[in-house]
């Protein structure tokens, strides 16, 4: 700056200052001489009273420099202000043109910002734990014994465990029963995560040892009767009373002492975890049950790969101590360690990355589109630019003016876009699949706003660059009338055509992806779950301590419930079970078939299946057809001979074409009542075969199922009710609550919902991805259409004269039509043709998300290509049609 200033003012500034000072000193010396001083001492005195001339000169120079800078700055700002003001005048002069651009930008920025907020919250933000990059999840078979061994032997990390499945417990507070989500954790878990209770303390080692008193929610929960509350539980049930520590909470009928309250943003292992209990891992079968999901914190200086190597040494070495290891050759082969952040985001990662990529494509299309429109208009503005250049505006000035104009537009659109995103984010979050992890971290925070501002600036610069370069060329006089202008102009037209074609290519990619995902969604919803969901309502009923009651008391409760429901208005039929399809949880069992030593042919005594305890009327209510034999009746009671029903798949696998009716199986489960005498697992007679039901997901195979009459079933922690309504399901929830309250007022009714919505959750992720990508594709096609239309309309207006000449010399209107229509169709065809291989290349990344449709399904590509060609057809038709109506005489007078 200083150097520029020097060159601007020349060297004279310093000389002038020195001259001024010397003149003063000289004049003062003369004055003194006239008063009688002699020459030399007069000069000394004059210099003395003047002070240090160097300091004075420097001070003057500083003042001049400072003012000069301020002047330049204010001149610059006022120029920018002029440019912006000019831009605003432009907007007012062509409101429709600018409205299209701003609308385009707002849509793009709002869409990409709110989606970025989602991706940022779920995928990009670090976990809310100190040094969370050191946290890992261990992939093992989640056995107690594995935890016990790892805790002792792991050198690279410290390990903690928690109960993997979500558990709900019944909590009585002031007589009101409530169902709260709970988790069992080892004493070290909070330490490893690095989060301490906000109030009170964590669990002691003693509390997670054998011998606790309370057993809430099932056999794995052995506690000393202590519980830690989440911050929201503390708020909802204790009104944030700081004296909560030491108070008593009744869990499943057992009093528990509150020992701690976690901080508000602690959500582990699940977002809605409300209570934590000590999780005992030393009691019970060390090598059975999936009960110990493990996380670890890498020790200082240890790396992820060291931890992985260690785990892959320790886990396979356990084969020597695991009694059943010889039956399971695969044990220990899949042990692995992955960063906890990746484990938590898990399957959502791919969907979100696909969405992130599609945001990028939409933003790209957006830039291209606006650039196309700007360029098209840039040509029209040449005259203005030439005039301004002629009036003395230099290249930099013209370029800056165009850039400022575009940035003004982009930032204004960005501001509106952020506001739109703010308004739409709430709706978007509600639309997100409920099982998406870390939803609570989705906010429109500074990071997201920064993203939005960068996108706006980037689009502003990107779409402004071409027109700005163009403006600078105008400054060089290249676009003055004459041959040079025509050359540049045809080049501009080529660029805009290429850009418009590019938009079609990108639209193809998005549209193909969207169609693939929509087909997936359609295929998923078309999958027959094996039962009829219409007018089916489900609920969970959890009398406190239900798990510990005896079988007759379960029977009594279920029977009362069914009797009362059968008599209730609007209920066509009702049934209860311990679990129903699409419940989360673990319902696996091992069974043996009488007379077969190796039923699966894999050298194993047992086969595995999903098993359910169901009441009479279950198959009738769910509408699952009984294929052979009979369904359960009220005669299959507690003391009757043991009976089961099996699914078609099991029948087919083990009996082939023979009838399995009358065959015997037994369950390898020590908890069941040993009715045949101590130590003897009872045999169950197969009395019927039912059709297949999807239990856990719609995409995979159906799981083999064994059904046991509820009265003979032992693994019962709460009841699932299914009610088939006569016509409408709305009143059923109230009826259910009333009926349960009559039987046991302390039993909470939770998770009341229609089966349709329960199944809807199973396709929530694919639906989310499909709808969003579908939206993007529509936006992209729309933008491509606008872009192509802009290019053609502009080309037509530039060629009015040429067309006039052609018409005047006898060209047919068909020829003129073909000229422009051909231009439009050419760019559509080329764009689509280029888009297809790009789409083939990119849809490969989608294949993991697809179901029932191939990522390179030709029909999908063909359909998309046809749609885009039709769009191109429509877009080319209108300007071409208009061109044929040009009056040659008027056209020649044009301009």
Question: Residue 671 in contact with residue 714, Cβ under 8 Å?
Answer: yes
Contact 738, 595 (CB under 8 A): no
Q: How far is the CB of 453 from other proteins (least distance, A)?
A: 37
Joined together, the tokens standing for residue 39 give: 């020459």
How far apart are CB 37 and other proteins at their closest, in Å? 16
Tokens of 276: 């934590």
Nearest residue (CB) to other proteins, 59 versus 241: 59
**Taking every pair of C-alpha atoms in the chain, what is the biggest distance, in angstroms?**
144
Which residues share a beta bridge with 172?
Answer: 177, 250
CA distance 654 to 670: 24
Nearest approach in angstroms of CB 56 to other proteins is 4
Structure tokens at 337: 């360690």
Among left, alpha and beta (phi > 0; psi -120 to 50; other), residue 677 is left
Nearer Cβ to other proteins (28/134): 28
Of residues 41 and 387, the one with the C-beta less far from other proteins: 41
CA atoms within 13 A on the CB side of 885: 6
Pick between residue 16 and residue 79 the one whose CB is nearest to other proteins. Answer: 16
Closest approach of other proteins to the CB of residue 18, in Å: 11
Q: Which is nearer to other proteins, 5 or 771 (CB)?
A: 5
- Alpha carbon dihedral 478, 482, 487, 493, in 10-degree steps, equals 90
* Bridge pairing between strands 705-709 and 536-541: unpaired
Strands 643-647 and 705-709, bridge-based pairing: antiparallel
Q: Could you tell me the sign of the dihedral formed by the alpha carbons of 188, 192, 197, 200, in that order?
A: positive
- Pick 74 or 634: Cβ nearer other proteins: 74
CA distances from 95 to 99, 370, 413, 415 (A): 6, 15, 14, 19
Nearest to 460 by CA among 69, 84, 204: 84
Shortest Cβ distance from residue 38 to other proteins (Å)?
Answer: 19
Contact between 808 and 887 under an 8 Å Cβ cutoff? The reply is: no
Contacts of 6 (CB under 8 A, 6+ apart): 13
Alpha-carbon separation of residue 617 from 97, 500, 614, 711, 721 (angstroms): 67, 63, 8, 13, 11
Kindly state the smallest distance separating residue 57's Cβ from other proteins, in Å: 8
Comparing CB distances to other proteins, the nearer of 60 and 148 is: 60
Residue 45 CB, nearest distance to other proteins (Å)? Answer: 11
Instruction: Give the residue with the Cβ less far from other proteins, 62 or 491.
Output: 62
Nearer to other proteins, 58 or 556 (CB): 58
SS3 347: coil
Q: How far apart are CA 182 and CA 546, in angstroms?
A: 16
> Of 26 and 890, which has the nearer Cβ to other proteins?
26
* Least distance (Å) between residue 43 CB and other proteins: 14
Nearer to other proteins, 67 or 894 (CB): 67
For residue 326 the two structure tokens come to 């010889």
Q: Angle at Cα 372 formed by Cα 369 and Cα 377, nearest 5°? A: 130
CB of 71 to other proteins, least distance (A): 8
Please identify, using beta-carbon distances, which residue of 16 and 187 lies nearer to other proteins: 16
* 824 phi and psi angles, rounded to 5 deg: -65, -45
User: Whole-number minimum distance, CB 63 to other proteins, in Å?
Assistant: 5
User: Residue 36 CB, nearest distance to other proteins (Å)?
Assistant: 16
Footprint of other proteins on this chain (CB under 8 A)? 16-17, 19-21, 23-24, 26-28, 30-31, 49-53, 55-56, 59-60, 63-64, 67
**Count of CB atoms situated within 10 Å of the CB of 264:** 12
Pick between residue 53 and residue 775 the one whose CB is nearest to other proteins. 53
Whether the CA torsion 707, 710, 713, 715 is positive or negative: it is positive
DSSP state of 546: G
Beta-carbon contacts of 180 under 8 Å, excluding residues fewer than 6 positions away, are 168, 169, 171, 233, 274, 275
Q: Are 813 and 884 in contact (CB under 8 A)?
A: yes
Q: Where are the beta strands (DSSP E) in 316-455?
A: 336-339
23 or 85: whose CB is closer to other proteins? 23
CB of 68 to other proteins, least distance (A): 8
Find, among 804, 773, 617, the residue nearest to 707 by Cα: 617
Query: Residues near 63 by Cβ (< 8 Å), separated by ≥ 6?
Result: none
Q: How far is the CB of 506 from other proteins (least distance, A)?
A: 56
Q: Are strands 254-261 and 664-667 parallel, antiparallel or unpaired?
A: unpaired
Question: Computed over its alpha carbons, how large is the radius of gyration of the chain?
Answer: 39
Q: Determine phi and psi for 336, rounding to 5 degrees.
A: -155, 160
Q: By C-beta, is 14 or 336 nearer to other proteins?
A: 14
CB 679 within 8 A of CB 577: no
Least Å distance, CB 81 to other proteins, is 21
At its nearest, how many Å lie between other proteins and the CB of residue 6? 17
- In the complex with other proteins, which residue's Cβ is closer, 12 or 701? 12
* CB 55 to other proteins: min, Å: 8
CA 404 to CA 76: how far, in whole Å? Answer: 12
CA-nearest of 733, 731, 720, 721 to 570 is 731
Closest distance of CB 3 from other proteins, Å = 20
Taking the least distance from each CB to other proteins, the nearer of 60 and 328 is 60
- Cβ-based nearer residue to other proteins, 39 or 346: 39
As measured in angstroms, the least distance from the Cβ of 20 to other proteins is: 5
First and final CA of the chain: distance in angstroms?
A: 46
Cα-to-chain-centroid distance, residue 270: 17
Residues 6+ apart with CB under 8 A from 788: 500, 503, 504, 824, 827, 828, 872, 875, 876
């Amino acid at each position: 700056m200083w150097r520029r200033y020097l060159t601007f003012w020349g060297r004279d500034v310093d000389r002038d200052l020195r001259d001024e000072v010397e003149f003063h000193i000289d004049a003062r010396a003369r004055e003194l001489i006239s008063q009688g001083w002699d020459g030399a001492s007069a000069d000394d005195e004059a210099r003395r009273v003047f002070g240090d001339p160097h300091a004075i000169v420097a001070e003057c120079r500083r003042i001049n420099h400072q003012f000069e800078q301020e002047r330049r700055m204010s001149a610059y700002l006022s120029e920018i202000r002029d440019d912006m003001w000019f831009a605003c005048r432009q907007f007012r002069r062509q409101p429709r043109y600018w409205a299209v651009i701003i609308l385009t930008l707002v849509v793009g920025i709002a869409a990409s910002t709110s989606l970025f907020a989602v991706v940022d919250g779920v995928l990009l933000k670090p976990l809310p734990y100190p040094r969370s990059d050191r946290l890992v999840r261990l992939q093992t078979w989640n056995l107690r014994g594995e935890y016990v061994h790892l805790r002792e032997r792991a050198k690279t990390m410290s390990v903690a465990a928690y109960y993997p499945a979500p558990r709900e417990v019944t909590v009585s507070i002031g007589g009101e029963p409530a169902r709260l989500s709970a988790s069992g954790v080892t004493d070290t878990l909070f330490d490893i995560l690095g989060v301490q209770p906000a109030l009170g303390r964590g669990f002691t080692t003693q509390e997670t040892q054998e011998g606790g008193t309370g057993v809430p929610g099932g056999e794995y929960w052995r506690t000393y009767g202590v519980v830690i509350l989440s911050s929201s539980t503390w708020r909802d049930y204790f009104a944030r009373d700081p004296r909560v520590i030491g108070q008593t909470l009744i869990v499943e009928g057992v009093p528990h002492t509150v020992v701690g309250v976690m901080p508000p943003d602690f959500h582990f292992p699940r977002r809605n975890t409300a209570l934590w209990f000590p999780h005992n891992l030393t009691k019970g079968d060390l090598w059975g049950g999936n009960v110990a999901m493990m996380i670890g914190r890498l020790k200082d200086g240890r790396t992820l790969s060291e931890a992985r190597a260690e785990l892959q040494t320790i886990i396979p070495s356990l084969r020597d101590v695991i009694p059943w290891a010889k039956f399971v050759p695969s044990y220990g082969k899949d042990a692995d360690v992955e960063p906890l952040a990746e484990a938590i985001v898990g399957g959502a990662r791919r969907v979100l990355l696909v969405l992130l990529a599609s945001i990028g494509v939409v933003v790209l299309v957006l830039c291209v589109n606006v650039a196309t429109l700007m360029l098209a208009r840039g040509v029209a503005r040449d005259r203005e630019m030439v005039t301004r250049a002629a009036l003395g505006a230099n290249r930099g000035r013209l370029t800056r003016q165009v850039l400022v104009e575009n940035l003004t537009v982009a930032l204004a659109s960005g501001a509106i876009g952020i506001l739109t995103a703010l308004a739409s984010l709430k709706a978007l979050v509600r639309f997100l699949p409920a099982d998406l992890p870390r939803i609570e971290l989705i906010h429109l925070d500074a990071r997201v706003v920064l993203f939005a501002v960068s996108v706006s600036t980037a689009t502003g610069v990107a779409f402004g660059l071409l027109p700005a370069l163009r403006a600078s060329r105008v400054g060089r006089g290249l676009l003055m009338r004459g041959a040079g202008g025509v050359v540049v102009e045809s080049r501009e037209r080529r660029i805009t055509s290429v850009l418009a074609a590019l938009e079609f290519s990108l639209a193809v990619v998005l549209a193909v992806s969207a169609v693939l995902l929509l087909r997936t969604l359609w295929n998923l919803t078309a999958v027959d779950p094996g039962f009829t969901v219409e007018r089916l309502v489900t609920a969970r009923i959890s009398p406190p301590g239900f798990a510990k009651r005896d079988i007759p008391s379960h029977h009594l409760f279920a029977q009362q419930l069914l009797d009362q429901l059968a008599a209730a208005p609007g209920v066509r039929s009702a049934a209860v079970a311990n679990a129903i399809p699409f419940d989360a949880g673990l319902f696996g069992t091992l069974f043996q078939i009488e007379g077969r030593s190796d039923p699966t042919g894999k050298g194993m005594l047992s086969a595995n299946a999903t098993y359910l305890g169901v009441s009479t009327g279950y198959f009738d209510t769910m509408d699952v057809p009984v294929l052979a034999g009979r369904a359960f009746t009220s005669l299959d009671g507690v003391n009757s001979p043991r009976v089961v029903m099996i699914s078609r798949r099991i029948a087919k696998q083990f009996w082939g074409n023979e009838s399995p009716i009358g065959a015997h199986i037994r369950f390898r489960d020590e908890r069941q009542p040993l009715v045949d005498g101590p130590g003897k697992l009872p045999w169950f007679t197969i009395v019927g075969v039912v059709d297949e039901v999807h239990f856990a997901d719609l995409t995979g195979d159906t799981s083999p199922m064994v059904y046991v009459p509820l009265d003979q079933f032992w693994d019962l922690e709460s009841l699932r009710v299914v009610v088939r309504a006569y016509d409408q399901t709305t009143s059923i929830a109230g009826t259910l609550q009333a009926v349960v309250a009559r039987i046991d007022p302390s039993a909470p009714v939770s998770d009341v919902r229609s089966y349709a919505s329960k199944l809807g959750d199973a396709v929530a992720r694919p639906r989310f991805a499909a709808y969003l990508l579908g939206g993007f594709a529509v936006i992209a096609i729309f933008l491509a259409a606008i872009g192509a239309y802009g290019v053609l309309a502009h080309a037509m207006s530039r060629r009015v004269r040429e067309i006039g000449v052609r018409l005047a010399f006898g060209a047919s209107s068909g020829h003129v039509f073909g000229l422009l229509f051909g231009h439009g169709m050419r760019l559509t065809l080329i764009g689509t043709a280029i888009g297809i291989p790009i789409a083939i290349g990119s849809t490969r990344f989608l294949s993991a998300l697809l179901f029932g449709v191939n990522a390179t399904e030709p029909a999908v590509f063909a359909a998309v290509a046809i749609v885009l060609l039709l769009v191109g057809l429509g877009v080319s038709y209108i300007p071409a049609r208009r061109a044929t109506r040009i009056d040659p005489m008027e056209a020649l007078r044009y301009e």
